[in-house]
Amino acid sequence: MMIQPIKTRIFQEGDDLLTFITDYFKKVSEKSVIVVTSKIVALAEKRTTVVKDIKSKEKLIRAESEFAIPTKYVWLTVKDGMIMASAGIDESNANGKLILLPKDSFKTARSLRNILRQKYGVKHLGILITDSRTIPLRAGVIGVALGYAGFKGLKDYRDTPDIFGRKFKFSRTNVADSLATAAVLLMGEGNEQQPLAMIEKVPIEFCDTMHRKELHIDSKDDMYQPIFSKLIRTHDRVKEKS
């Protein structure tokens, strides 16, 4: 697998995303994946705002979240079925504004794929829209897929044998987030100015249709559910005493 991050000009709010992408990809190989950071998708959609004070920011975070509780450093939130800090609202590389998450990254990925397949004359093309997330009890951030199109995001090993013939019962590989992590590592988190990347010779299954919730796990079935429940109960008790 080869990943090539692309150095670009600064993407300005309101710029046309499709024109920006095609300016930097003169050709696209069959069975490749175009990676786009979610920040420029949000800027193209003018998903930005300016808040006057902490209370205004708190109100915005709550409005953008399905669930939100304050922690020592940030708000712990659930948005679009994912746990994230402060509903994904970002202040970095935002020129004084707050950048929200894109409206619908899966829809954007599908739209880009349809147009770019025709433009570059390829049958199999993946689009991956990335963001960054922290992992509990681990320092630093890794890449995550906010949306994707053109490939299966999950590889299922269940009922297949391991090297000793024992069948897997639970094992599945999160393909979309794994690709996002690899791409984000090279694209960078600071002033690298590399919001695009190309992944070639990628070991994935390309497809025309996919289930946008294939990576989603209901909170009742999540292995971390006991920790989440305890956190919520603790938060509710503190709130009742305040």
Read off the pTM.
0.91
Nearest to 77, CA basis, from 155, 134, 139: 134
pLDDT at residue 240, rounded to an integer = 62
What are 39-98's pLDDT values in tens digits? Answer: 999 999 999 999 889 899 999 999 999 988 888 888 989 999 899 999 999 888 778 899
**∠ Cα 124 129 134 (to 5°):** 135
Contact 204, 179 (CB under 8 A): yes
| 3-class DSSP assignment, residue 190 | coil
Place of tokens 């504004």: 97
Which pLDDT score is estimated for 236?
Answer: 62
Position 233 scores a pLDDT of: 67
| Residue with token string 């948005």 | 79
Short-list 203, 221, 170, CA closest to 31: 203
CB 8 within 8 A of CB 24: yes
- In whole angstroms, how large is the CA radius of gyration of the chain? 19
Specify the amino acid at residue 101.
L
Which pLDDT score is estimated for 146?
97
Query: Which residue spans of the chain are classified as CATH 3.30.1330.100?
Result: 2-45+102-235
Distance of alpha carbon 46 from alpha carbon 21, whole angstroms:
17
Residue 197 neighbours by CB under 8 Å, 6+ apart = 3, 4, 5, 6, 34, 35, 183, 186, 187
> Are the CB atoms for 49 and 100 separated by under 8 Å?
yes
Alpha-carbon gap, residue 138 to 214, rounded angstroms: 25
Residue 178: its H or E element: helix 175-187
Q: What is the pLDDT of residue 231?
A: 66
* pLDDT score for 132: 94
In CATH, what class is 2-45+102-235?
Answer: alpha beta
Residues of the chain with pLDDT under 50: none
Provide the pLDDT for residue 235: 58
- pLDDT at res. 239: 59
